[in-house]
C-alpha cells in the first residue's frame, strides 16, 4: 500500500483547489456564453419584429401615396381634357418631365369628354334670335331702391 506523505497530500490539495477554481471559471464562462447567445437570439427576434412593422408601414405608405398620385393624375387629366392644355404645357406648369406626367396620367383613366350641349331644334314660327327685342315701358323704369344697388 502506498503511504502518503504530507508533501504529496499538500500537492494533491493544491491541485484540487486549482482544478476547482478552473472549473468555477469554466462554469462562469459557459454561463456568459449562454447569456450572449440568448441576447443575440433576442436581437434577431427584435429585428424580425421590426422588419414586419417596416413592411406593414411600407405597404401603408405605398397605398397612401398611390391614392394621392391618383388625385394628381385626375388633376393633370382635367388640365389636359377639360381645358385643352397640351401635355408639354401641363408638364411645364407642374414642373415635371413629360415622362413623369405620362406615368402620373397612366394611374387614372382619362375623363370622358364633356358633351357640349346641342341646341334644341327651333320650333316652327318666327326665329327668336332674329326677332327685334320688345321692351315694355315698365321694364325701363328704375325704382329708387334699384338705383342704389350696384350691378353685379
Number of domains in the chain: 1
- pLDDT < 70 positions in the chain: 1-3, 111-152
Given this model, what pLDDT does residue 124 score? 59
Q: Is position 117 within any domain? A: no
Given this model, what pLDDT does residue 109 score? 86
Q: Is position 141 within any domain? A: no
Q: Is position 58 within any domain? A: yes
Q: Specify the 3-state DSSP secondary structure of 120.
A: coil
Given this model, what pLDDT does residue 28 score? 97
Given this model, what pLDDT does residue 23 score? 96
Given this model, what pLDDT does residue 1 score? 47
Per-residue b or e along 42-77, where b marks 16 or more CB atoms closer than 10 Å to that residue's CB: eeeeeeeeeeeeeeeeeeeeeeeeeeeeeebbbebb
Q: Which residues span the domain enclosing 59?
A: 10-111
Give tens-digit pLDDT for 70-111. 999 999 999 999 999 999 999 999 999 999 999 999 999 876
Q: Is position 60 within any domain? A: yes
Q: Is position 127 within any domain? A: no
Q: Does residue 90 contact residue 79 with C-beta atoms inside 8 Å? A: yes
Q: Is position 94 within any domain? A: yes
Q: Is position 129 within any domain? A: no
C-alpha cell at 81: 381634357
Q: Is position 135 within any domain? A: no
Given this model, what pLDDT does residue 152 score? 46
Given this model, what pLDDT does residue 134 score? 55
Amino acid at each position: 500500500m502506498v503511504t502518503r506523505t504530507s508533501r504529496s497530500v499538500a500537492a494533491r490539495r493544491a491541485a484540487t483547489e486549482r482544478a476547482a477554481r478552473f472549473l468555477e471559471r469554466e462554469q462562469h464562462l459557459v454561463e456568459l456564453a449562454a447569456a450572449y447567445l440568448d441576447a443575440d437570439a433576442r436581437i434577431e427576434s427584435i429585428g424580425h419584429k421590426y422588419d414586419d412593422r417596416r413592411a406593414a408601414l411600407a405597404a401603408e405608405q405605398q397605398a397612401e401615396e398611390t391614392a394621392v398620385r391618383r388625385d394628381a393624375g385626375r388633376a393633370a387629366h382635367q388640365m389636359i381634357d377639360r381645358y385643352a392644355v397640351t401635355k408639354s404645357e401641363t408638364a411645364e406648369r407642374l414642373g415635371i418631365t413629360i415622362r413623369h406626367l405620362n406615368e402620373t396620367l397612366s394611374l387614372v383613366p382619362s375623363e370622358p369628354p364633356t358633351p357640349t350641349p346641342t341646341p334644341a331644334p327651333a320650333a316652327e314660327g318666327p326665329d327668336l334670335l332674329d326677332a327685334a327685342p320688345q321692351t315694355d315701358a315698365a321694364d325701363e323704369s328704375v325704382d329708387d331702391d334699384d338705383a342704389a344697388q350696384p350691378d353685379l
